[in-house]
Amino acid sequence: QVQLVESGGGLVQPGGSLTLSCEASGSILRIDTMAWYRQAPGAGRELVASITGNYPPYYDLEVKGRFTISRDNSKNTVNLRMNSLKPEDTAVYYCNAPEVITTNGRISDTWGQGTQVTVSS
């Protein structure tokens, strides 16, 4: 069993910043890729950023240059630093691990419960 728990969401004014955190827990041996998705009201879930090992992180074009994804492998955490926030960044943000290697085998597509980010004046 693997759990992803997000934190750090909230209400922020346009131009402000927030940092989201996600911690993975369980009998984890390795997580290669961790990612952040978001889902705005009435829209589908979209990939915001992902990070895999020592490869350059991936960013959606809408957030590139404003958001920074980072991880601490020793703690199985991934963070998303969001700067210059815009009202269109308002969404529920979800942490995702496409594959987790555990002591009981592989677990695919693990999601956190989501954290609300609202950008409004």
Name residues of the chain where pLDDT drops below 70: none
The CA distance from 113 to 84, in Å, is: 25
In this predicted model, what pLDDT tens digit does every residue of 81-105 receive, in sequence order? Answer: 999 999 999 999 999 999 999 999 9
- Dihedral (CA of 36, 79, 106, 58) sign: positive
Please tell me the predicted confidence (pLDDT) of residue 74: 84
Please tell me the predicted confidence (pLDDT) of residue 97: 97
Please tell me the predicted confidence (pLDDT) of residue 37: 98
Q: Which of 49, 24, 22 is nearest to 38 (CA)?
A: 49
Q: Which of 67, 113, 114 is nearest to 86 (CA)?
A: 67
Please tell me the predicted confidence (pLDDT) of residue 64: 98
Please tell me the predicted confidence (pLDDT) of residue 2: 95
